[in-house]
């Protein structure tokens, strides 16, 4: 079987035995394995992975603490959808950075990166929702 399974979105397989093993794995595990291989080959791979994982840790901690408040706003004061609400949060973060408000610039940059990741998720959810409609 030469066709790539939808459970294997990344890379080509060299044998049907490898394909059988990969089909049993989750797409998330396949992505993790691919990223680890790329990080080993990239000159700054370890540093990039450390930064990406730090942003991921921050997002997961905040998601556990606050729930999906950024991705599913309750809309008490605004009817903005998630993408627009995240854009407002980004504007606020950029404003603080520009004005030099007393926040640690590194913390603000981490927040900005995190909001950009959340914006991508919100945008993907909207696209999926519109495709289903």
Q: Which domain holds residue 75?
A: 45-132
Q: How many CA atoms lie within 13 Å of 17's alpha carbon, on the beta-carbon side?
A: 0
34 and 98 belong to one structural domain: no
Asked whether residue 54 falls in the same domain as residue 37, the answer is no
pLDDT of residue 51: 95
Per-residue confidence of the chain (133 residues) as pLDDT tens digits?
A: 344 333 334 444 444 555 555 556 788 899 999 999 999 999 999 999 999 999 999 999 999 999 999 999 988 899 899 999 999 999 999 998 888 887 788 888 999 999 999 999 999 999 998 998 8
Q: Are residues 37 and 49 in the same domain?
A: no
Q: Are residues 9 and 67 in the same domain?
A: no
Task: Please tell me the predicted confidence (pLDDT) of residue 23.
Answer: 58
59, 107: one domain:
yes
**53 and 37 share one domain:** no
What is the pLDDT, as a whole number, of residue 9? Answer: 41
50 and 90 housed in the same domain: yes
d(CA 17, CA 36): 22
Question: How confident is the model at residue 6, as a pLDDT?
Answer: 37
93 plus 128 within the same structural domain:
yes
Backbone CA torsion sign across 28, 30, 32, 34: negative
Number of structural domains the chain divides into: 2
Is the same domain home to 76 and 92?
yes
Q: Same domain for 35 and 56?
A: no
| 63 and 96 part of one domain | yes
């Amino acid at each position: 079987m030469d066709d790539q399974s939808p459970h294997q979105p990344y890379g080509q397989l060299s044998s049907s035995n490898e394909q059988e093993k990969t089909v049993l794995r989750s797409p998330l595990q396949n992505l993790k394995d691919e990223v680890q291989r790329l990080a080993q080959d990239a000159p700054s791979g370890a540093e990039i992975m450390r930064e990406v994982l730090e942003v991921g840790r921050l997002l997961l901690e905040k998601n556990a603490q606050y729930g999906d408040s950024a991705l599913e706003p309750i809309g008490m004061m605004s009817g903005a959808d998630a993408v627009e609400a995240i854009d407002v949060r980004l504007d606020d973060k950029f404003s603080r950075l520009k004005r030099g408000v007393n926040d640690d610039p590194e913390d603000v940059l981490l927040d900005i990166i995190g909001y950009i990741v959340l914006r991508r998720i919100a945008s993907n959810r909207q696209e999926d929702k519109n495709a289903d409609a």
